[in-house]
A and B are shown apart, each in its own frame.
Chain A
Amino acid sequence: MLNNLTKPHEYPGKLFVVEGIDGSGKTTQLGLLAKWLSAAGQRVFVTEWNSSALVKAATKTGKKKNALTPMTFSLLHATDFADRLLYKIIPPLKAGMIVLADRYTYTAFARDATRGVDRQWVRELYSFAVQPDMTLYFRVPIEVSLDRLMARRVKLKFYEAGMDLGWSGNPVESFRLFQGKVLDEYDRIVDEFGLEVVNAVGSITEQQRLVRSLISRLVHTTEVEIPDDEPL
């Protein structure tokens, strides 16, 4: 069995991951982290979950016809991830760059298990993945994330709200039920894979300060000091 995900990689670069449900603020934090690292003279590459061209077509067809089952949903995302890992993530790591991933395998572990896919199977499915140097999990209560999404007038996405499971015909209620279970899965994952938990309820600046102090343990950022109160 491959065990890449559970042993440190040997590339000169660094892989940092942010995880959390929609509305946890992880993408905002990742953006600020990227700014800081770039300003410090680091070469940074940002990659998002579910963004490779290869399976976009299939995901779209599947969604349109509402035809994805939990298993095909899981395998499609693994395909997408494999493509992105080999073409987008590993090359910059080999080149000694910093790769920032907005969601990683843990997103799949949490969502797929919630959809009823076997937990151990998903973990083995992704055992080809590179182990991140650090994963920051932005933990947020479901109501806070929903408030944030509603404030931005975000239309809840079909699969993101777990509408495919038919637990509720109401998108908000479905999101609450589905992401509530996703949060439980994340809690397991935190212990299993040693994720760093960031309390995502605090202010953006406060969170970013913690993020930077955690990351600075692993990256030498001599050119720019961590400011106490960086205007954001």
Chain B
Amino acid sequence: MTSPSEPTVGDVEGANGGIQPGRYYGRGIPYLPIDGYPGKLIAIEGTDGVGRSTQIQLLREWLEVKGYGVVETGWTRSPLMQPTIEVAKSSNTLNKLTFVLLYATDFADRLEKEIIPALKAGFVVLSDRYIFTALARAGARGVDRAWLRSVYSFAIAPHLVFYLNVDVKTLIRRVLEARGMDFWESGMDLKTGDDIYESFRTYQSKLLKEYASMADEFHFRKLDARRPIDRIQDELRRQVEAFLEPAEKPAEPALVSRT
């Protein structure tokens, strides 16, 4: 195998000038050229319990009122892989590599069948989590980073990546409040111990560290997820608006503005 001559996802060496929003990170999918597609891809990232879906819902409403067509996509929602991933999770047969590859397959399916067609048709695609979730989870499990970035080099670099940042203490309380801890979110597969609370804390801390380490590499726009929902939403809208408005005029002036 020869060494890659083109940048893979991000750039582990540090010079990340190669990332161009709306283009493939690396070699991409040769049979699907995406240059010039009018849509915009916006990713909302963050660990469990930071309020991603709430923010996306509000953002979607606002965008639609402004006249933008919006498509939502998530992580592990493709009809192709959902049953397989569920089976693998429930039987705990996933190992580090198959874990990465199953999610990559799922993502490829969604990219080709949902995201790319939507971008082609000029939609604003709101992605609840993106490849950074996979990179963080696999990174926390010790999978080779350069390999991970190469695997995901077929992904499209989002136009905007918002990262809802939180500290582990707040995170634990929110997850417990909402639904309790589960096996995978607690990283129990890493077998750091039988204490699910300790395992959760250790694993989620690792995840936060992984996200933090990607912030510069992938141009994250960090938002403090501990602030009130509407404050975060205001900030999101301000940044999304600043990005969209110069690029594209809304369908018509907003008749109602939510304050």
Contact = CB atoms under 8 A, between A and B. Distances in A.
Among B88, B101, B144, the most chain A Cβ lie within 10 Å of the Cβ of B101
Contact of A71 (B84, B108, B144): B108
B97 interface: yes
Interface in A66-96: 67-72, 75-76, 78-79, 82-83, 85-86
B28 A118 contact: yes
A128 B144 CA distance: 10
Contacts of B111: 71
B48 interface: no
Interface in A171-222: none
Interface string A48-67: 00000011011001100001
A127 B1 contact: yes
Interface residues of A, number: 36
A61 B30 contact: no
A124 interface: yes
Contacts of A79: 98, 101-102, 105
A120 B27 contact: yes
B26 interface: yes
Interface stretch (B148-156, B159-167, B251-259): B148-156
B211 to A, nearest CB: 23
Contact of B3 (A1, A62, A115): A1
Contact of A124 (B79, B83, B147): B147
Given A70-B31, A75-B105, A83-B98, A57 B26 contact: no
B14 interface: no
User: What's the dominant secondary structure at chain A's contact region?
Assistant: helix
B28 A82 contact: no
B45 to A, nearest CB: 22
Contact of A82 (B2, B83, B101): B101
A54 B102 CA distance: 10
Nearest to B29: A71
A125 B28 CA distance: 13
B112 interface: yes
A154 interface: no
Contacts of A72: 80, 105, 108-109, 112
B93 interface: yes
A5 B4 CA distance: 15
A115 B111 CA distance: 17
A192 to B, nearest CB: 8
B181 interface: no
B104 interface: yes
Interface in B68-89: 79-81, 83-84, 87-88
Interface of A: 1-3, 5-6, 54-55, 57-58, 61-62, 67-72, 75-76, 78-79, 82-83, 85-86, 115-118, 120-121, 123-125, 127-128
Interface of B: 1-4, 8, 26-31, 79-81, 83-84, 87-88, 93, 95, 97-98, 101-102, 104-105, 108-109, 111-113, 144, 146-147, 150-151, 153-154
26 contacts: A1-B144, A2-B144, A2-B146, A54-B88, A55-B84, A57-B84, A57-B87, A58-B83, A58-B84, A69-B108, A69-B112, A71-B29, A71-B108, A71-B154, A72-B105, A72-B108, A75-B105, A75-B108, A78-B101, A79-B102, A82-B101, A85-B97, A115-B31, A118-B28, A125-B151, A127-B147
